[in-house]
Structure 1
Amino acid sequence: MPAGAPAGRRHPARHARGQGHVRPAQHLRHRARVRGPGRAAQRARRRDRDLPGHLIHPYLEPPVPHALAHRGGALLAGNEQVENTLEAFRRAVELGYAYVETDVHVSADGVVYAFHDLSLSRMTGDEAAIETLTGDQVDAVVMGGRAPIPRLSAVLEALPATRFNIDVKSDAAVEPTLDVIARAGAQ
């Protein structure tokens, strides 16, 4: 290595082409420490503080980041086998989650349900898909031996102050979901 060259290992491909050196890995570790999660959160707070209020949608009001209870807090204690149910959503809210993620499917007769999977098999043992059942048939299904699959309208009515991130699982569910949201005034 020539005198005065920067410290570090030579990159074989670059060295063969005469393109210099690679910075030592220690430098990169230091940079990662400086720019870790704390710095990202500081930048986000500074960004949010400096943005005009009309650029931030009320759903995403500061402070950020926001914790979401995924599938209504599927991994929270007590929510096993009852993910995406009113029981799970209420438990997540009681624990302090202001944001709850849920998934929706639509029944054969157009009723929107909070449910993740395409078929009922993982949660109930039934191989049917919500889209092949009527609303009355889905209403009769129980998860974990204790919780019915909730209609999205019932969820929004029961938890009006909760902010939902709704994952629409099929094209057929888009319009009915938008209708439920509009009727609930949950926009």
Structure 2
Amino acid sequence: MGRVKQRGLTLIELMVTLVIMAFLLLVGISLGGDWVNGARTQQARSDLEQGWGVAKALALRNPCQSIGEDVPAATLTMEHVTGKGYQLRVDAKSRNSSLQEDAAASDCSFIASRPVRDDGTRLPVWSASLPAGIKVIYKDTFVAEGELHTWRITNRGLSSEIASLMVQRGGTQNDETIRW
């Protein structure tokens, strides 16, 4: 009688295949995580740059007729809110930036035309939230929860200070630096 040839995989072939698949899966997971971190830092940088652009455009348009080198026409504010992460907002400023919000609204029709929230405050001209897990470093210091930073922009489109921010998530290969 002839010997019947058996078909299928040997145990060694099956184990080698499983080891190769596990290695490819581990490499894919680590590269995928790095890709997600990079995408989030790029999104945060984009949001910050967009906020700066909107604030500068608003200041140059100067809807409240703010005049003077020390008088802001618009502001970009970044706040690290507990449990919500980083919140950005752009607001127009009245001619007299020391006025409270109600007085500023009566001083400037543009501010008065902004919708009012349930709590009585006016909606900003522009706002955004940075992606979860992002860290922002300003003046070589991590911006901690509860901190608030405001950049004032004059009607000439100039900032009251030079800003350099670093956005981080994951390893240093994902760091993004912004200067204005």
Superposed pair shares fold, TM > 0.5: no
Question: Which is richer in helix?
Answer: 1
Report which structure shows greater RCO (CA 8 Å, sep ≥6).
2
Structure with higher Rg: it is 2
Answer 1 or 2: which has greater strand percent. Answer: 2
